[in-house]
């Protein structure tokens, strides 16, 4: 690790783990968090979960796994330059989407609708539930027993109602305080990564073209710059170059602006950075506007494209029918999962069964959800 700033998270000042255990012999605490995340089953399943395009639509599109890796590498660069804790930044980045349902946001929205009367479903909370409870692989504790700082970073957003039930971890949402700086870096890196890779995937899928993208200022500036230097280059290579330039400009702006904010507020430690009254990891105003403009463009032109909408509709129907069938009759659930659901129902008679079904569905990959749908509803599927 390169030099670490006083406001960075450090092993010696960590708020620790929920369950006591001996410290690691050869690794730092956050390095151990990162390693546990990489070894867990939910992490491997990210390979077959949709970001925007359903996994079977093509091998070149981002999945939640490749997305998480892109987030981690952007975030590490920023963390290193700003003297933050790289291991913690990487751990949060790799874990931030562990609770996502199959079929991207369409899946999450539908599962939330299904769970309306049972406490709702929210992927950030589910990511926390995965690392706190659902990963079931250690002898002396449930979940992965991650540090407070990793868990804090995973829980990016949270309603006040849910925050009240989360104790120390939820407190910052009630007190309107910031997460640690490493969590702030991972959060912005997430949006830089998905905006840019959704442009790339949207171009590849033929949903948008370079001409349409020129409506967006940040894209137009860098498209002009790239064309000026390489007027003969084909559209594909130009698009790669433009995306590279956009990412570079955003990360450069993020580092420069955040560095100024850190110098100005000069937090003496990680907690002072949490109490700064604003996020110190930030874009400049003009870059934030460009960033939001690109986000809006993607919403209108990619996520609302009829081909994406058709896929989303199918995804919603699949999730909805799986939920209705399994919640209506838990004996349809496989061994093990069914017992967990029954135990949840006994502990919480009003909502436990629904929570068990939501845990099962949220853990599915796209292709597993489709196969399970077939096994339950298609009379020619015998198993
Ligand atoms: Mg993400």
Distance (Å) from CA 381 to ligand 1 centroid: 35
Distance (Å) from CA 383 to ligand 1 centroid: 34
As a whole number of angstroms, the distance between CA 66 and CA 61 comes to 9
Which helix H or strand E contains 351, and what residues bound it? none
Distance (Å) from CA 138 to ligand 1 centroid: 27
Distance (Å) from CA 223 to ligand 1 centroid: 26
Tokens coding 258: 């955040």
Distance (Å) from CA 97 to ligand 1 centroid: 6
As a whole number of angstroms, the distance between CA 249 and CA 253 comes to 6
In the chain, the N- to C-terminal Cα span, in Å, equals 51
Give the per-residue pLDDT at 383: 66
Q: Choose the CATH number for 25-307 among 3.90.1150.10, 1.10.3210.10, 3.90.1580.10, 3.30.1330.40.
A: 1.10.3210.10
Q: Who contacts 224 (Cβ-Cβ below 8 Å, separation ≥6)?
A: none
Under a CB-based contact definition with an 8 Å cutoff, are residues 150 and 88 in contact?
yes
Distance (Å) from CA 43 to ligand 1 centroid: 13
290-308 pLDDT per residue, tens = 999 999 999 999 999 998 8
Distance (Å) from CA 232 to ligand 1 centroid: 35
Distance (Å) from CA 349 to ligand 1 centroid: 33
Distance (Å) from CA 137 to ligand 1 centroid: 25
Give the per-residue pLDDT at 55: 60
Distance (Å) from CA 39 to ligand 1 centroid: 19
Give the per-residue pLDDT at 71: 98
Low-confidence stretches of the chain (pLDDT < 70) are 1-2, 53-59, 382-383
As a whole number of angstroms, the distance between CA 309 and CA 302 comes to 9
Distance (Å) from CA 96 to ligand 1 centroid: 6
Residue with tokens 């929210």: 122
Of the candidates 90, 165, 85, 97, the residue with the CA atom closest to the CA atom of residue 131: 97
Residue with tokens 């406001």: 7
Distance (Å) from CA 50 to ligand 1 centroid: 11
Distance (Å) from CA 18 to ligand 1 centroid: 25
Kindly list the distances between the CA atom of residue 191 and the CA atoms of 43, 187, 188, in Å, as whole numbers in the listed order: 20, 7, 5
Domain boundaries, the chain: 25-307, 308-377
Provide the Cα torsion 226, 227, 230, 235; round to 10°. Answer: 100
Give the per-residue pLDDT at 379: 86
Distance (Å) from CA 67 to ligand 1 centroid: 7
């Amino acid at each position: 690790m390169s030099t670490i700033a006083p406001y960075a998270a450090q092993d010696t000042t960590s708020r620790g783990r929920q369950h006591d255990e001996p410290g690691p012999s050869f690794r730092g605490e956050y390095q151990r968090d990162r390693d546990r995340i990489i070894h867990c089953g939910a992490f491997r399943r990210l390979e077959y979960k949709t970001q925007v395009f359903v996994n079977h639509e093509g091998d070149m599109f981002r999945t939640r796994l490749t997305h998480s890796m892109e987030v981690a590498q952007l975030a590490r660069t920023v963390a290193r330059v700003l003297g933050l804790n790289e291991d913690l930044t990487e751990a949060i980045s790799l874990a931030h989407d562990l609770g996502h349902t199959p079929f991207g946001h369409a899946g999450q929205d539908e599962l939330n609708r299904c769970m309306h009367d049972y406490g709702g479903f929210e992927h950030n909370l589910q990511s926390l539930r995965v690392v706190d409870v659902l990963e079931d692989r250690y002898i002396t504790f449930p979940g992965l027993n991650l540090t407070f700082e990793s868990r804090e970073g995973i829980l990016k957003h949270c309603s006040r109602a849910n925050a009240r039930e989360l104790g120390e971890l939820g407190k910052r949402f009630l007190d309107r305080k910031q997460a640690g700086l490493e969590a702030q870096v991972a959060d912005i890196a997430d949006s830089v990564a998905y905006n840019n890779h959704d442009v790339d995937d949207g171009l590849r899928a033929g949903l948008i073209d370079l001409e349409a993208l020129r409506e967006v200022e940040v894209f137009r500036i860098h498209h002009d710059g790239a064309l000026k230097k390489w007027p003969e280059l084909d559209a594909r290579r130009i698009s790669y170059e433009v995306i590279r330039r956009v990412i570079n400009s955003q990360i450069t702006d993020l580092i420069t602006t955040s560095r100024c904010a850190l110098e100005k507020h000069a937090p003496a430690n990680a907690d002072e950075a949490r109490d700064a009254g604003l996020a110190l990891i930030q874009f400049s105003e003009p870059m934030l506007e460009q960033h939001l403009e690109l986000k809006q463009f993607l919403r209108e032109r990619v996520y609302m494209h009829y081909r994406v909408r058709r896929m989303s509709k199918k995804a919603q129907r699949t999730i909805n029918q799986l939920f209705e069938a399994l919640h209506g009759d838990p004996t349809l659930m496989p061994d093990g999962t069914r017992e967990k659901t029954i135990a949840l129902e006994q502990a919480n008679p009003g909502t436990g069964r629904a929570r068990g079904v939501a845990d099962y569905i949220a853990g599915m990959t796209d292709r597993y959800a489709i196969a399970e749908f077939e096994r339950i509803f298609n009379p020619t599927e015998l198993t």
